[in-house]
Amino acid sequence: MSQASPSPSGVTLVAETPDLDLKIEALLDHAFGPGRFTKVSERVREIASFRPDLSYCAFVEGRLVGVVRQYEIRIGDQPAIFLGPLAVMADARKFGTGGLLVARACEAAAASGHPVVLLVGDEPYFSRLGFSSAQTRGVVLPGPVDQRRVLSRGAQSPLIGLVQAI
């Protein structure tokens, strides 16, 4: 494991590495179930560029309990990061791990020159992590979506255009 960084809650975050792939897949199946691949976010991930260096795994006492992945995209002409999937094991939720993963992912995205992060998710959860739909009315995803679930962070002006490959 590289880039380990323990937090006050006993959670250690590490950047994603290929050896973690099977465990991550099992976690994502556990968190999202069979509908996992039907989401519009999956259509985005099919065309986007995966950034393992901006994706993080959460461990507690050596056990993988959470993951957040990030991808590079363009929204129209604007380069951006697409966040997700985000998942935490059911028995490890409500300890702040999801929030920690999102905060680290956004920090890493900004440090890599990508302050704008886009996702499709529940506004009541992601609003407390700095996301809103204020700048996303003009964002067009490659499939049907409830536009209220299209959220961004770090955008200083409206995001306009199709989400596409970089």
Ligand X SMILES: CC(C)(COP(=O)(O)OP(=O)(O)OC[C@H]1O[C@@H](n2cnc3c(N)ncnc32)[C@H](O)[C@@H]1OP(=O)(O)O)[C@@H](O)C(=O)NCCC(=O)NCCS
Nearest position to ligand X, beta carbon:
98
**Nearest approach, Cβ of 83 to ligand X (angstroms)?**
8
CA distances for 95 relative to 5, 10, 35, 116, angstroms: 17, 10, 26, 26
Number of residues that bind ligand X (CB under 6 A): 17
**Nearest approach, Cβ of 70 to ligand X (angstroms)?**
12
Of 24, 73, 87, 155, the residue at the interface with ligand X (CB under 6 A) is: 87
**Nearest approach, Cβ of 78 to ligand X (angstroms)?**
21
Of 7, 36, 42, 96, the residue at the interface with ligand X (CB under 6 A) is: 96
103 binds ligand X (CB under 6 A): no
12 binds ligand X (CB under 6 A): no
Answer whether 159's CB lies under 8 Å from 76's CB.
Answer: yes
CA distances for 23 relative to 80, 100, 103, angstroms: 27, 20, 22
Residues 17-76 that bind ligand X (CB under 6 A): 31-32
Of 52, 99, 115, 154, the residue at the interface with ligand X (CB under 6 A) is: 99
**Nearest approach, Cβ of 98 to ligand X (angstroms)?**
3
Identify which range of 8-16, 81-89, 133-141, 154-162 contacts ligand X by CB under 6 A: 81-89
What is d(CA 158, CA 108) in angstroms, rounded to the nearest whole number?
22
Element (H, E) at 55: none
CA trace torsion 71, 128, 150, 158 (10° rounding): -90
Q: Which residues are within 8 A (CB) of 37 and not within 5 positions of it... i.e. 6 or more apart? A: none
